[in-house]
């Protein structure tokens, strides 16, 4: 039954500021792009927004105590840019710094590590009004914001993640139009890709120059889709999709540059200026990997990008995604090779299930337990096959605001009653506790 992880493998849980904090307009925070997007009718399920969410801003002590009771060793949270520099650029808000300092200290009090993500999508609206990630200036604004965090919180943060899922910030938000700000424009998206990459590079360079010690990396949600058939055209389609959705980021970070196939296929050119690629390839200490699923793809002449997803056979989670733990193993092995054996962390993995609170306040989320167990097995197998995987953060600690799905999809190992804001550990929380404890395999 043991999942066979070494004692120093790190088990954590993850959330993100806009998804859990609430207190949207307290203590000087100003609007972010998700406040704006959520207010546009039809963009988010039921028009849900992050104004209250699970109110972690006021309840972080209770949440950390609960994490501690489950034996969780690290908490990955994100810092809200609009709390730290409410106008995006300029004046720093001391209350913002104070909040995250207190959060980290509380984690340490409980013997847990603080993993801070600098940007998890809550861009100050004022910067979006100037073009958001399509405007090169934003990379320098991001640098100033990151500097404030490094210079004020480095004594309490144990590990930094510069950016969460560049794919979602760029292609998903500026090309597919699914996330805020919701554009569908290849040219804008191409600019956004380069500027997100540049922002990461600028922050990395500053961090290295200042000699900060805590490990720093970036979290990607790689796509290494499997070709639906063995036909060469489908293999090429899978490669194209991987180049667009994954290598457009990991290529520059690992010094390989942008995949040429993107220019050849789509005629796009990234707005590179002198010195950019060198900055962007500043070596990270690790890559964070967010993995939920993987799809079969095939070539398609009618689809604008030249590839399309095919039906799959695996069970769907409540959000409609296939449960594919084999995909995780494939991705980890591919990443290990592509990044030249850089240390990896699973910074998110989990499933949305249709959870029901029983009369005795329990949630019997067997499907989530299966999901996590099978994905942990894939992690353990990857380590056996030589991947330098150092930790796993379950998504999520608690049910929260699932972006365009609002509060309709529950990813937590802790159930949130959105009316009373009470927290109830689900069976998966106790399962996770036992995994971390090693099922009693401890020296007694």
Size of the site for ligand GCO (CB under 6 A): 11
User: Is 348 one of the catalytic residues?
Assistant: yes
Rule CB under 6 A: say whether 395 interacts with ligand GCO: yes
Min separation Cβ 16 and ligand GCO, Å: 5
Q: What are phi and psi of 137, to 5 degrees?
A: -55, -30
Min separation Cβ 292 and ligand GCO, Å: 6
Choose between 36 and 396: whose C-beta lies nearer to ligand GCO: 396
Rule CB under 6 A: say whether 33 interacts with ligand GCO: no
Rule CB under 6 A: say whether 167 interacts with ligand GCO: no
User: Is 405 one of the catalytic residues?
Assistant: no
Rule CB under 6 A: say whether 332 interacts with ligand GCO: no
Task: Identify residues 342-371 at the interface with ligand GCO (CB under 6 A).
Answer: 348
Rule CB under 6 A: say whether 399 interacts with ligand GCO: no
Q: Which residues of 353-371 are buried (b: 16+ CB within 10 A; e: fewer)?
A: bebeeeeeeebebebbbbb
Q: At what angle do helices 325-338 and 366-384 cross, to 10 degrees?
A: 30
CA dihedral 360, 58, 436, 290 (to 10 degrees): 110
Rule CB under 6 A: say whether 294 interacts with ligand GCO: no
Q: Which stretch binds ligand GCO (CB under 6 A): 60-68, 129-137, 140-148, 163-171?
A: 163-171
Choose between 150 and 395: whose C-beta lies nearer to ligand GCO: 395
- Which tokens sit at 11? 């088990």
Min separation Cβ 395 and ligand GCO, Å: 5
> How many other C-beta atoms are found inside a 10 Å radius of the C-beta of residue 395?
24
Q: What secondary structure, in 3-state letters, does 360-425 show?
A: CCCCCCHHHHHHHHHHHHHHHHHHHCCCCEEEEEEECCECCCCHHHCCCCECCCEEECCCCCCEEE
Q: Which of 132, 402, 414, 416 binds ligand GCO (CB under 6 A)?
A: 402
Cα–Cα distance between 274 and 280 in angstroms, integer?
12
> How many other C-beta atoms are found inside a 10 Å radius of the C-beta of residue 158?
16
Residues that bind ligand GCO (CB under 6 A): 16, 19, 164-165, 168, 221, 290, 348, 395, 402, 411
Q: Which are the catalytic amino acids?
A: 165, 348
């Amino acid at each position: 039954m043991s999942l066979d992880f070494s004692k120093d493998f790190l088990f954590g849980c993850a959330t993100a500021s806009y998804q859990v904090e609430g207190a949207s307009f307290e203590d000087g925070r100003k609007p972010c792009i998700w406040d704006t997007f959520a207010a546009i009718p039809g963009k988010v399920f039921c028009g849900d927004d992050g104004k209250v969410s699970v109110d972690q801003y006021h309840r972080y002590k209770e949440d950390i105590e609960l994490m501690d009771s489950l034996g969780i060793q690290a908490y990955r949270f994100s810092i809200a840019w609009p709390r730290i520099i409410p106008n995006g650029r300029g004046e720093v808000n001391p209350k913002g710094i104070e909040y995250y300092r207190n959060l980290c200290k509380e984690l340490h009090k409980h013997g847990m590590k603080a993993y801070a993500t600098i940007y998890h999508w809550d861009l100050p609206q004022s910067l979006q009004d100037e073009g958001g990630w399509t405007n090169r200036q934003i990379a320098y604004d991001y640098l100033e914001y990151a500097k404030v965090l490094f210079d004020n919180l480095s004594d309490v943060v144990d590990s930094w993640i510069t950016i969460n899922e560049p794919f979602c910030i760029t292609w998903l938000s500026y090309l597919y139009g699914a996330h805020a700000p919701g554009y569908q424009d290849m040219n804008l998206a191409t600019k956004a890709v380069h500027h997100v990459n540049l922002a990461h590079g600028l922050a990395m360079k500053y961090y290295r120059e200042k000699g900060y010690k805590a490990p720093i990396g970036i979290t990607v949600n790689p796509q290494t889709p499997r070709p639906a058939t063995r036909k060469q055209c489908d293999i090429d389609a899978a490669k194209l999709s991987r180049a667009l959705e994954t290598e457009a980021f990991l290529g520059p970070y690992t010094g390989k540059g942008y995949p040429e196939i993107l220019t050849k296929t789509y005629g796009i050119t990234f707005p590179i200026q002198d010195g950019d690629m060198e900055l962007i390839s500043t070596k990270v200490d690790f890559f964070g990997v967010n993995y939920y699923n993987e799809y079969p793809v095939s070539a398609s002449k009618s689809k604008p990008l030249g590839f399309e997803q095919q039906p799959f056979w695996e069970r769907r989670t409540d959000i409609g995604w296939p449960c594919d733990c084999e995909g995780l193993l494939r991705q980890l092995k591919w990443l290990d090779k592509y990044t030249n054996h850089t240390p990896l962390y699973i910074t998110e993995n989990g499933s949305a299930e249709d959870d029901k609170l029983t009369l005795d306040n329990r949630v019997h989320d067997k499907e989530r337990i299966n999901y996590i167990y099978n994905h942990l097995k894939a992690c353990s197998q990857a380590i056996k096959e030589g991947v330098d995987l150092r930790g796993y953060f379950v998504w999520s600690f608690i049910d929260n605001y699932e972006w365009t799905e609002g509060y309709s999809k529950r990813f937590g190992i802790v159930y949130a009653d959105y009316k009373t804001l009470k927290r109830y550990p689900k069976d998966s929380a106790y399962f996770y506790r036992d995994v971390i404890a090693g099922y009693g395999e401890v020296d007694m």
